[in-house]
Amino acid sequence: MDFKSSSTMYIIAACIILFILAQAIFFLVKAWKQGKALGMSKEKLRNVVTSSTMFTLPSALSVLATVIALAPALGLVLPWVRLSVIGNLMYESTAAEAAMEAFGHEGGMAVSVSDPVVFAGIAWIMTLGICLSLVLLPFVAKPLNKKMRNLNKQEKTAKEENTEEKPKKNGMAGFMDLVSPAIFIGIIGAFVARAIAGAGKPETTGDGAGVLSLVTLVTAVAVSLALEFAAKKLKLSKFEPFVMPIGMIIAMIVAVAAFNILPPEIATLEWRG
């Protein structure tokens, strides 16, 4: 029996997903009632729901791409549950690969995890790691939100007074402005380095850096840059959140096409750091 896609796993996943959906519906109903109590029209409330739904589509595409990326090693159920509750592309992929390396799993994401103990360990590491944000959130969310509101008020005042000088961000807001891009660039750098000079096993195809990893990387970067440029040129700010997930999905499609079109000796060619 394939424990990664057994009926028990699907039952557990269904219970978790149903709970998440019930929670979302509960707060949607509460928010709708509160909006009506505040005197908002049904048309305005529908517009809010529609815009919120559109806002979630880029995240949904990113989730789909991440599930596809993790499925060869972990199956569909675990990535589906992890990304339906809390998590994102960069964290889940990084945590899963780090756990695989710690357990001595050879082949990375390209090779299926066959040991139930290793699979359970990876699941625990992925889950417990992201829980740190839930622990910190009650302590940092309120003061950070207060600072961001004050900053927005300052920016609004500066805009009304037609001053070009933007208010200086201090404290936590300024710290986050510096740290967030640095973390993002660091994670992206790790993925790029692995695609160009990643380590792998000579006897395993698909776990190291090679022609396909480079084709995937170049395609993702090129498509993302092209879409980003088009969005800014055409002033389609609502399209910008779709840039990264669309770039990822197109890169995956190109990788599959390249594997089937290129000669086998080129498509499977890999070099390792």
Whole-number pLDDT of residue 210: 80
SS (H, E, C) the chain: CCHHHCHHHHHHHHHHHHHHHHHHHHHHHHHHHHHHHCCCCHHHHHHHHHHHHHHHHHHHHHHHHHHHHHHHHHCCHHHHHHHHHCCCHHHHHHHHHHHHHHHCCCCHHHCCCCCHHHHHHHHHHHHHHHHHHHHHHHHHHHHHHHHHHHHHHHHHHHHHCCCCCCCCCCHHHHHHHHHHHHHHHHHHHHHHHHHHHCCCCCCCCCCCEEHHHHHHHHHHHHHHHHHHHHHHHCCCHHHHHHHHHHHHHHHHHHHHHHHHHCCHHHHCCEECC
Task: Answer with the residue of higher pLDDT: 106 or 126.
Answer: 126
Are 178 and 239 in contact by the 8 Å Cβ rule? The answer is no
Average pLDDT over residues 202-210: 65
Q: Is the pLDDT of residue 171 over 70?
A: no
Whole-number pLDDT of residue 11: 92
Whole-number pLDDT of residue 201: 63
Whole-number pLDDT of residue 273: 46
139-151, pLDDT tens digit by residue? 877 877 777 777 6
Q: Is the pLDDT of residue 114 over 70?
A: yes
Whole-number pLDDT of residue 160: 63
Rounded-to-integer distance, Cα 207 and Cα 108, Å: 6
Lowest mean pLDDT: which of 5-9, 13-17, 57-61?
A: 57-61
What residues does each domain of the chain span? 1-168, 173-273
Average pLDDT over residues 58-80: 83
Structure tokens at 245: 């997930």
Task: Answer with the residue of higher pLDDT: 41 or 245.
Answer: 41
